[in-house]
């Protein structure tokens, strides 16, 4: 039986290069990037980027330094407005949306360089994410009404549940900036999850982690997908992590997709080996 997937809301046969996992193909994808591109002056930093991500897929975006990976994340999250192309999130066009609006539509991210509120507590960092999902009346906050305290109690409970994913609830009152590096990375993921995304983007989540932290992170990424039933797309230079947990991998080089496929397909793809893995072997 031919596989089917959605394109602009219509069922179409899955092209042979599709990497959406079997279990997701009959559900509308979480993300469709269609002919996406951005120019910086004369530089086509990303060009004709097409990608479909399944509802519960763990996808990898890899490529050599400067290939355009973070720029793709910046396009998906509306840090940059695309020069060309369309992004559909859960079938909804995100054209003209702001960073905040697209977050409320279901996309959350972490950054290559950790961006926590260092002087705030761990719990308050998570609450910043939670508050993104709720409309708070400034007046009820100022007047400290019963409704305000009820929402605060709910936020505390939810923050603790989320911190529990990484066993971090005991650190709730610590200052975020005082945490060890690995814990700060984990906290950034928790804060992103607090915004209740359907697609979580992780920009080099294993950067700076030691091998045992990376192994634990790999387990936790899969656990997050399974617990929240969401899609996760990650940029990562740690090939062991990518090849072990990503179901579909997209490879960029000089702003263009040079390959898409399963980890097995990517590892044996000559163009990828030449452009990326080959270079790594030489290094
Ligand atoms: N705001 C910008 N203005 C001008 N050029 C930019 C801007 N952002 C990115 N670029 C350029 O676009 C290209 C892609 O950069 P990007 O950071 O997306 O690559 P990357 O694949 O994430 O690299 P790395 O693995 O090193 O993080 C690079 O040539 C970069 O210099």
Residues 146 and 81 in one domain: no
Q: Is 66 in the pocket of ligand 1 (CB under 6 A)?
A: yes
- Can you tell me the mean pLDDT for 179-206? 94
Q: Is the pLDDT of residue 161 over 80?
A: yes
Residues 96 and 235 in one domain: yes
Q: Is 253 in the pocket of ligand 1 (CB under 6 A)?
A: no
Q: What is the pLDDT of residue 135?
A: 56
58-61-66 Cα angle (round to 5): 160
Q: Is 63 in the pocket of ligand 1 (CB under 6 A)?
A: yes
77 pLDDT band (50/70/90 cuts)? very high
* Collapsed DSSP state (helix, strand, coil) of residue 136: coil
Q: Name, in order, each residue with C-beta under 8 angstroms of 248's C-beta and a sequence gap of 6 or more.
A: 19, 20, 21, 53, 54, 57, 59, 60, 260, 261, 262
- Residue 35's CB is within 10 A of a number of other CB atoms, namely 12
Looking at ligand 1, which atom is closest to the CA of residue 63? 21
The residue that leads in pLDDT, 265 or 144, is 265
The verdict on residue 112 lying in a domain is no
Q: Is 15 in the pocket of ligand 1 (CB under 6 A)?
A: no
Could you tell me the residue range of the domain that residue 182 belongs to?
A: 117-194
14 pLDDT band (50/70/90 cuts)? very low
Q: Is the pLDDT of residue 9 over 70?
A: no
Mean pLDDT of the chain, nearest integer: 87
Residues 268 and 254 in one domain: yes
User: Is there a contact between 33 and 8 (Cβ–Cβ < 8 Å)?
Assistant: no
Q: What is the pLDDT of residue 10?
A: 47
Q: Is the pLDDT of residue 154 over 70?
A: yes
User: Is there a contact between 41 and 26 (Cβ–Cβ < 8 Å)?
Assistant: no
* Collapsed DSSP state (helix, strand, coil) of residue 281: helix
Q: Angle, to 10 degrees, between the axis of helix 211-228 and the axis of helix 181-193?
A: 10
| 194, 214, 244 - which closes a domain | 194
Residue appearing with tokens 């092209």: 15
27 pLDDT band (50/70/90 cuts)? confident
The ipTM assigned to this model is 0.95
Of the residues 66, 69, 73, 276, which should be mutated to test ligand 1's pocket, given the most ligand atoms within 8 Å of the CB? Answer: 66
Tally of structural domains, the chain: 2
Virtual torsion, Cα 101, 105, 106, 111, nearest 10 deg? -20
Q: Is 163 in the pocket of ligand 1 (CB under 6 A)?
A: no
Give nearest CA residue, ligand 1 atom 24. Answer: 65
Q: What is the pLDDT of residue 172?
A: 95
- How many Å lie between the centroid of ligand 1 and the Cα of residue 139? 43
Locate 198 and state its tokens.
């359907």
Q: Is the pLDDT of residue 18 over 90?
A: no
- How many Å lie between the centroid of ligand 1 and the Cα of residue 212? 30
Residues 78 and 137 in one domain: no
Q: Name, in order, each residue with C-beta under 8 angstroms of 30's C-beta and a sequence gap of 6 or more.
A: 53, 54, 55, 57, 89, 90, 106, 198, 199, 230, 231
The verdict on residue 239 lying in a domain is yes
The verdict on residue 111 lying in a domain is no
- Residue 212's CB is within 10 A of a number of other CB atoms, namely 9
Residues 65 and 179 in one domain: no
- How many Å lie between the centroid of ligand 1 and the Cα of residue 133? 30
Q: What is the pLDDT of residues 162-178, one digit of tens each?
A: 999 889 999 999 999 99
Residues 13 and 134 in one domain: no
- In terms of Cα–Cα distance, which of 238, 134, 153 is closest to 195? 134
The residue that leads in pLDDT, 148 or 221, is 221
Locate 261 and state its tokens.
């496929």
Supply the pTM of this predicted model.
Answer: 0.86
User: Is there a contact between 19 and 250 (Cβ–Cβ < 8 Å)?
Assistant: yes
Q: Is 261 in the pocket of ligand 1 (CB under 6 A)?
A: no
Give nearest CA residue, ligand 1 atom 7. Answer: 40
Give nearest CA residue, ligand 1 atom 6. Answer: 40
Q: Is 81 in the pocket of ligand 1 (CB under 6 A)?
A: no
Locate 102 and state its tokens.
């697209």
The verdict on residue 231 lying in a domain is yes
User: 183: buried, middle or exposed (CB in 10 Å: 19+, 13-18, 0-12)?
Assistant: middle
């Amino acid at each position: 039986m031919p596989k089917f997937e959605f394109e602009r809301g219509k069922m179409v046969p899955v092209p042979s290069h599709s990497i959406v996992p079997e279990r997701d193909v009959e559900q509308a994808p979480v993300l469709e990037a269609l002919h996406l591109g951005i120019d910086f002056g004369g530089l086509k930093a990303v060009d004709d980027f097409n990608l479909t991500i399944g509802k519960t897929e763990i996808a990898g975006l890899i490529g050599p330094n400067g290939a355009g990976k973070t720029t793709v994340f910046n396009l998906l999250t509306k840090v940059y407005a695309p020069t060309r192309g369309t992004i559909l999130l859960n079938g909804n066009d995100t054209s003209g949306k702001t960073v905040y609006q697209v977050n409320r539509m279901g996309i959350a991210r972490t950054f290559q360089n950790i961006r926590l509120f260092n002087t705030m507590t761990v719990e308050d960092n998570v609450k910043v994410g939670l508050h993104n999902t709720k409309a708070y009346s400034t007046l009820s906050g100022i007047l400290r009404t019963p409704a305000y305290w009820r929402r605060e109690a709910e936020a505390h409970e939810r923050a603790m549940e989320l911190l529990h994913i990484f066993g971090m609830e005991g650190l709730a009152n610590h200052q975020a900036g005082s945490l060890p590096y690995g814990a700060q990375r984990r906290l950034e993921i928790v804060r992103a999850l607090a915004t209740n995304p359907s697609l979580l983007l992780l920009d080099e989540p294993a950067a700076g982690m030691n091998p045992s932290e990376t192994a634990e992170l790999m387990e936790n990424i899969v656990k997050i997908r399974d617990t929240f039933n969401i899609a996760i797309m990650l940029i990562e230079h740690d090939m062991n992590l990518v090849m072990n947990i990503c179901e579909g991998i997209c490879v960029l080089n000089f702003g263009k997709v040079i390959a898409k496929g399963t980890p097995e397909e990517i590892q044996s793809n000559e163009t990828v080996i030449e452009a990326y893995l080959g270079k790594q072997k030489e290094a």
